Chain A
Amino acid sequence: MAKPKIATTSLAGCFGCHMSLLDIDERILELVELVEFDKSPVDDIKNFTGRCAIGLVEGGCCNEHNVDVLREFRRHCDILISVGDCATMGGIPALRNTVPLRECLDEAFVNGPSVHNPDGKYPDDPEIPLILDKVYPAHEVVKIDYFLPGCPPTADTLWEALVALLNDKPVELPYQLVKYD
């Protein structure tokens, strides 16, 4: 039987959640025994090669590209997991949600202390995805099956959750793994 596939992505996140996944240390060897990585920054596969058992989503959606990727993940993955506070609640990027969009762009591209932009225009290369009116947590864009809290969730949290799901067990994480105070 072919190994189940797993895909991961970082949307409006800092890659910290992916780092945390790498933090499972030598268990990464066990993991590649258990699963095959599909589309993911871990193996740099850019496009889905087929249906995946699990998708791990880091970060919420701050631009239209994030939305595309997230929707693609939903279409290809049986189980979709919001990993970390950015995916779950918007996290740090969502701090901009209370600031008008124009002010955000002005600060980033016109007025910021380290900005040199003599004609004061926003970058308009079509390759640059348009920014959304605010940062959306993943579950406001697609259906999410599981949420792993933390910034980032610890390696153990990720490991326990993956192992449980891959073995068709209920995800019942001990309190220590999901408490952050």
Chain B
Amino acid sequence: MAEILEEAAIREICQAHDCNRARLLDIARAVHKKCGYISGHAMNLIADELSTHRVEVESLVSFYSFLSDKPRGRIVIRLCNDIIDQMNGAQLVGRAFSEELGIDFGRTASDGAITLEHTACIGMCDQAPAALINDVVVTNLSSDKAREIVRELRQHTDPQRLVKHLGDGNNAHELVNSMVQNNVRLPGPSIFSPVNRGEALRKALVMSPAEVIRAIKTARLRGRGGAGFPTGMKWEFARAAPGDRKFVFCNADEGEPGTFKDRAILTERADRVFAGMTIAGYAIGASEGILYLRGEYAYLRPFLEHVLQKRREDGLLGDDIFAAEREPAPPKPAGERDVHRRPGTAGRRPFSFDIRIQMGAGAYVCGEETALINSCEGMRGDPRNRPPFPAQEGFLGCPTVVNNVETLCCAAKILEEGPATFNQYGSEQSSGTKLLSISGDCRRPGIYEVSFGIELSEVLEMCGARDAIAVQVGGASGEMVAPDQYDRTICFDDLCTGGAIMVFGPGRNVLEIARSFMDFFVEESCGYCTPCRVGNVLLRERLEKILDAKGEPADLEYLEALCRTIKTGSRCGLGQTSANPVLTTLKNFRKVYEVMVQEDREGLKRSFDLQRAVAEAEELCGRESIHNHV
């Protein structure tokens, strides 16, 4: 009986998505939520409804870490075990969870209620250790809190009730209800400045699309997602690309470990982000937008949907935006004022634009723009070959602009106040301000809006980390900077970052940190390119050998050569940057490696352990190795 009901429910979910193959990710998420996992039978049903093959469904399920093909608990605890959390005691917290539940990580408790897992950075590095319990974020964990959480969950099974104190700002909004703190330590002139809803959009709509693009170009806006591509140029390409249907994507995947600034923007300035998307739509001639929200930020979704709905109600989104201002003003009853009505937009052609939210499902590589597009088409988040670039051929083959959350915010700000105001901050090549998300060994972790061109030493001073022995700029794929380079500057030409600044204090081992980053890349590689799939594993193995004090000088050359192979032989940005932690520590912290490696005088390999190699045979054969007697 239960099976029949479940079958009906699965078919219903598919039908609610019009049995659209491109919505497979949403369907899989919904089925997963309904059934707790996606069984082989469920895969068959979905494939049947969508007129596709089971292998397509299975392949998608196996790709995303939030989807499972084996039964899991109704409650899934995902504890972040990236380096920042480790430094803040995630191991102890993990042990407490494990003991209290009586299971190891990767297992489900015997009553089937709770599953315990590790996860990569969930964007809460400023309040680590942190975990996701289903969609609910719990922060600043300790082993006591972990035990308490398990006890409570056993009683009431409702993760939301674990939230006892609400965070600041909109984290306390009834649709967010989260304990997350914004930790905006230094609000600057751009992103977090007060929003006058509708202003940027109204100003854009009195201009021609070409003028809007010119304004973005004049402001010299470059992408904030990490790569720094000129935004105006991207929009222009998409505008010029042939096709009636175009798309604007906002990349809110924020998966780079150490990055959490988009989290705060979405919480506090969602309106500005949506304004930016709408303006981009107007500029390139698109009427559809998608916000790709990482699965870890699902707690923000109801709130974001609400903001979108309000924009629709207020005529800032949907059919014929600012329609009232476009029409020649009808005579109005005496004494009534219409706040929306301003001069200037009359006479332009109607412009319609709407936005939907696409949820991710736990895959870092989906932040890569072509993987993100694949994911939105209901496929595995494997990156595509480029060219064609998304601006030429993106979502469903249509020209698509993909921009970071912060970039779109900046775009709105440029329209609000004009390029000159935006430009007065930063430098020639890197104009404007940048949000930094700072975590690790510093007194004031959180979000800082700084002008481009700021020296790293000043950043460290600001966040209270004068004694830092190393700073990783740009997240796991970034650069490890040594103290003698703290006079370098944050900008696109020197230390380029999507925002992540991870600070490491006295006593930290940069090799351990690099190893931890390699764990991340090994886990997150999509596996398409051999240099990335295999190379990252080999890099980690060799690092471990060195950390084990079994390394030799030749290992350093090996590492360097392998890093080059991975960098040059990989298809997407993940593989092209995954070797950076090793390469930059080799370059900037050479001494740390050199004291760990040693040549054996007789040419024997120190990493080969004969005793360990024969141990099993000794046991099976019940006698000792002859070497034990010499």
Which residues of A pack against B, CB within 8 Å?
Answer: 64, 67, 71, 74-75, 80, 101-102, 105, 122, 124, 126, 129-134, 136, 139-143
Contact = CB atoms under 8 A, between A and B. Distances in A.
Contact of B623 (A124, A132, A133, A140): A124
Contacts of B616: 101, 133
Contact of B621 (A122, A136, A139, A142): A122
Nearest to A131: B617
- How many of chain B's residues touch chain A, expressed as a range? 20 to 34
A140 B606 CA distance: 9
Contacts of B612: 133
Given A64-B626, A122-B620, A124-B623, A140 B615 contact: no
Given A64-B625, A64-B627, A126-B623, A133 B617 contact: yes
Interface string B596-630: 00001011110110101111111011110111000
Interface of B: 600, 602-605, 607-608, 610, 612-618, 620-623, 625-627
A142 B627 CA distance: 17
A136 B613 contact: yes
A132 B605 contact: no
Contacts of A126: 623, 626
A117 to B, nearest CB: 14
Given A130-B618, A132-B613, 13 more contacts: A64-B610, A67-B608, A74-B603, A74-B604, A101-B616, A124-B622, A124-B623, A130-B623, A131-B614, A133-B615, A134-B613, A142-B603, A142-B605
Contact of B604 (A71, A101, A136): A71
A132 B625 CA distance: 10
Contact of A101 (B603, B607, B620, B626): B620
A130 to B, nearest CB: 4
B605 A133 contact: no
B602 A101 contact: no
A143 B625 contact: no
Contacts of A130: 614, 617-618, 621, 623, 625-626
Chain A interface main SS type: mixed
A86 B622 CA distance: 29
Contacts of B618: 130
Contacts of B620: 101-102, 105, 122
B625 to A, nearest CB: 5
A107 to B, nearest CB: 13
B345 to A, nearest CB: 68
A121 B382 CA distance: 51
Given A133-B615, A133-B617, A140 B607 contact: yes
